[in-house]
Structures are given as structure tokens and as C-alpha cells.
């Protein structure tokens, strides 16, 4: 896949970092404001997709990236499942139990396990959207070859 013009490259360079930070902000404030793991994860993936589109990437590199994102995706969702199962082992032994201390409502570190769920779902969504994007690009490259 070829990259784009220098204007696009420079703009992306300036924007991508901000987009990435904004995604992280949305994820870690998921239990306080609208948004959360899914919305933030999509934004995170968006910053990577911007960079790949602007700068381009060769085919083999894309394939390697795709293997990596799939691995991260599965690891992240496995952690979410382990968090859910931890409720079965701790507290009153209920699946998906929010056993951690809740803290004060409205503070960043509060709501028990919810921020953790948000963070790992954010990683999961970012990785999976990136791997969908990469898979489709790889398919397209295979056709044009």
C-alpha cells in the first residue's frame, strides 16, 4: 500500500498523537462520562489507521501487524473474562460481580472493577478494529498483486 502526499503526512503527524490521547481519555473516564471502552477503543484504532493510510506500508509488514493485533485482541478479551470470573471466586461468588471497593462517586478511581473492564475492552476493541482493517487491506493487496 502506497502512502499519500506530504501535506497529508504532515497533518497526520500532528493529529494522530492527539487522537490517540483523546481515545485514552475516553477510555479511562468511561465510568464517569459518556463513552467508555468501545468508543475509546474505536478512536484509538482510528489514530493507527490514520497513520497507516497516510504513510502506507508494505504487504509483509501488514501481515505481521495483523498477527500482532489478533494476539493483543485475544489477550485483552481473555483478561476481561478473567475479571468476570474473578467475581465467581471472590466476594459473594457471583459471575461478573463487582467485588472491588466502589470509592467515591465521580472520582477517577472509583466504581470498583468498571475502569478495569473499560481499559481492557478499550484495548480489545482497538486491536480488533485494527485487525479488521488490516485484514481487509491484506485481502485487497492480494487481489491487486
Residues making contact with another protein (CB under 8 A): 32-34, 38, 70-71, 74-75, 77-78, 81, 84-85, 87-88, 92-98, 105-106, 125, 129, 132, 135-136, 139-140, 142-143
Q: Considering beta carbons, is residue 2 or 145 the nearer one to another protein?
A: 145
| Nearest to another protein of 116, 132 (CB atom) | 132
Smaller CB separation from another protein, 15 or 63: 63
Q: Angle formed by the axes of helices 114-144 and 37-55, to 10°?
A: 30
In the complex, minimum distance from the CB of residue 6 to another protein, in angstroms, rounded to a whole number: 31
Residue 137: CB partners within 8 Å, gap ≥ 6?
Answer: 1, 52, 62
Query: Is 29 in a helix, a strand, or coil?
Result: coil
Cβ neighbours around 16 below 10 Å, total = 18
Amino acid at each position: 500500500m502506497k502512502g499519500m502526499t506530504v501535506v497529508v503526512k504532515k497533518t497526520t503527524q500532528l493529529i494522530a498523537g492527539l487522537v490517540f490521547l483523546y481515545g485514552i481519555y475516553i477510555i479511562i473516564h468511561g465510568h464517569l462520562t459518556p463513552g467508555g471502552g468501545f468508543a475509546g477503543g474505536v478512536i484509538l484504532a482510528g489514530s493507527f489507521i490514520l497513520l497507516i493510510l497516510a504513510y502506507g506500508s508494505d504487504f509483509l509488514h501488514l501481515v505481521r501487524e495483523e498477527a500482532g493485533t489478533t494476539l493483543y485482541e485475544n489477550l485483552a478479551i481473555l483478561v476481561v473474562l478473567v475479571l468476570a470470573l474473578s467475581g465467581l471466586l471472590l466476594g459473594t461468588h457471583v459471575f461478573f460481580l463487582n467485588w472491588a471497593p466502589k470509592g467515591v462517586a465521580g472520582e477517577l478511581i472509583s466504581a470498583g472493577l468498571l475502569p478495569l473492564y473499560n481499559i481492557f475492552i478499550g484495548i480489545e476493541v482497538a486491536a480488533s478494529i485494527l485487525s479488521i482493517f488490516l485484514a481487509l487491506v491484506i485481502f485487497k493487496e492480494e487481489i491487486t498483486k
